[in-house]
Amino acid sequence: MKVSELSSAEFSERLAGDGIRLAAGPFNCRLQSGVPEIAGELSRLYAHHPLIDDTQFVDFHVGIQPGHGVRRWLRPQARFIVDSIEPFTPLPRDQSLPMLEWGLNWCITAYSQHILVIHAASVARGNRAAILPAPPGSGKSTLCAALVNRGWRLLSDELTLIRLDTGELMGLARPVSLKNASIDIIRNYAPDAFLTQPVLDTTKGTVALMAPTQASVEAVDTPTRAAWMVLPRYQAGSDARLTPMGNGAAFMQLADNAMNYHILGARGFEAVGRTVDQCRNFSFEYSRLDDAIAVFEQLAGDET
């Protein structure tokens, strides 16, 4: 059974009560909230995710709850809770939905020391994946969202997960976080995609979330290997251009973006090295999404 098979009333009732139990790639999550206004958009963001029953192990019990005391009504706040712990300062209540996504990312990063976690987007064509590590403002999420709406499969927008034993990438297929100008760019580029209403004045600017495609969610467990590491950078007015990157520079890019590289030690070093060795590594400058998509299609076609 999928989230979309619940009625709006059923979804809201479960969310406010015992929680929505769903699978997001390798993780089972229980989502609860006493902030009812997020239910409608949350149900659409996770519409294609499978529900799990209450006998299955849950990795993360998370919730978004109203602020304490007067903060329920005066400049109302929202609190992120995981296993009865509040790891963050409360945020304005209208930031509840992105706070839930940021909190889930934090949970995966903080507790997943059995895999390599890289701050990077990743998309796949068939069983081959492209890893897109890049700093904020590089256009990473915009490019990721565009690729996903042109036939590529979303593995993750924020956290690329690599198995230590096999080197395979593990899909998450959770919502894509778009910021500022990227929101309208993707609304126009992919009018059939579901995007939440923009949330203003967050620490990241204006934020909206894009739902993963049904195909991405349904194929989330498909084994995938890294074939390309592409470091994207949006540059207004530039032509789409791939520039080969040496393995040493590529290693440093992945290691610098690995959230738990220092914790994994030798295992992290080996995982990063193996990933770099099996990839073709590039830096990538672009300005027009159609041109960027064409470059990625050619990249994938070169090895078919």
Q: What is the pLDDT of residues 46-102, one digit of tens each?
A: 999 999 999 999 999 999 999 887 666 668 899 999 998 999 999 999 999 999 999
pLDDT value, residue 70: 64
CA distances from 292 to 142, 229, 239, 268, 287 (A): 11, 15, 9, 31, 8
Neighbouring C-beta atoms of residue 302, cutoff 10 Å: 8
pLDDT value, residue 155: 98
Question: In sequence order, what are the beta bridge partners of 131?
Answer: 122, 229
Give 187-192 contacts, CB < 8 A, sequence gap 24+.
189/145, 189/146, 189/149, 189/289, 190/145, 190/146, 190/149, 192/149
pLDDT value, residue 69: 72
The first and second tokens of residue 244, run together, are 């080969």
pLDDT value, residue 105: 96
Q: What is the pLDDT of residues 268-301, one digit of tens each?
A: 999 999 999 999 999 999 999 999 999 999 999 8
Neighbouring C-beta atoms of residue 239, cutoff 10 Å: 11
Give the whole-angstrom CA distance, residue 142 versus residue 241: 17
The first and second tokens of residue 295, run together, are 């470059």
pLDDT value, residue 303: 58
Q: Which residue has the tokens 């990312």?
A: 105
pLDDT value, residue 266: 95
Q: Judge whether 51 and 22 are in contact, CB under 8 Å.
A: yes
- Torsions phi, psi for 102 (to 5 deg): -60, -40
Give the whole-angstrom CA distance, residue 239 versus residue 153: 25
| Low-confidence residues in the chain, pLDDT < 50 | none
pLDDT value, residue 137: 77
